[in-house]
Amino acid sequence: MKKALIFDLDGTLVDTLSDLAAVTNTVLFANGYPTHPLDAYRQFVGNGGRRLVEEASGETREDVVDRLFEEFLSEYDRHCLDLCKPYPGVVETLQTLKRCGMVLAIYTNKPQVQAEKIVDCFFKDTFFEVIGHTPNGPKKPDPAPLLHILSAYSISPEQAAFVGDSNVDVQTAHNAGLECVGAAYGFRGKEELLTAGADILIDEFVQLIKIFNIS
């Protein structure tokens, strides 16, 4: 039986795509760049905010990307809760998992401040750790934060799994020696997860209870 489940945030626990797209488009428009339809952002997200604005703008100049990213962070901090919401069944399933003694944590490439803001809004007192991206800190697919969580709670890789919706999440899990559960309902979809080598796929979050024999 698994003792710990570690989750990606965007596209796995919460649908944040509309806010990310709206904020990025606001920054792009203000700086004279073309904007993008919502679905385009499914491929832009997943590697952190700086990479998001870099890909959405098409910019290659480091100083310009840095400036756009700072504008993005300021705008997103004000609007990160406007439209986002947990996927169906997430809140109830997390409560069940925690009640059964499961160690629950988050490892996301979302900036730490906004990750904590979203978690506090929807999942207060649910997670043992919330690890987001900080300046000069590791980000997925670096497995170091996953290994830190396992060490902190004396859990072996075989006793844990990582749940995410992208190829980066699969790579992150496998880099740490963890089984990866692919959230096929998320931003990237089933085909990407299968190609990346996800060990298990779920179409609904509540399936975690049955997969890991939680009662």
Task: Give 9-39 pLDDT, tens digit per residue.
Answer: 999 999 999 999 999 999 999 999 999 999 9
Q: Is 169 a catalytic residue?
A: no
Mean pLDDT of all residues in 206-215: 88
Decide if pLDDT at 48 tops 90: no
Query: Which one from 8, 10, 19, 165 is the annotated catalytic residue?
Result: 8
Domains observed in the chain: 4-15+85-211 (3.40.50.1000), 17-79 (1.10.150)
pLDDT band at 215 (very low <50, low <70, confident <90, very high): low
Task: Give 112-141 pLDDT, tens digit per residue.
Answer: 999 999 999 999 999 999 999 998 899 999
Contact status, residue 8 vs residue 165, Cβ threshold 8 Å: yes
Task: Give 156-208 pLDDT, tens digit per residue.
Answer: 999 999 999 999 999 999 999 999 999 999 999 999 999 999 999 999 999 99
Q: Please state, in angstroms and rounded to a whole number, the distance separating the CA atoms of residues 62 and 173.
A: 30
Decide if pLDDT at 85 tops 90: yes
Is the alpha carbon torsion for 176, 160, 123, 46 positive or negative?
Answer: positive
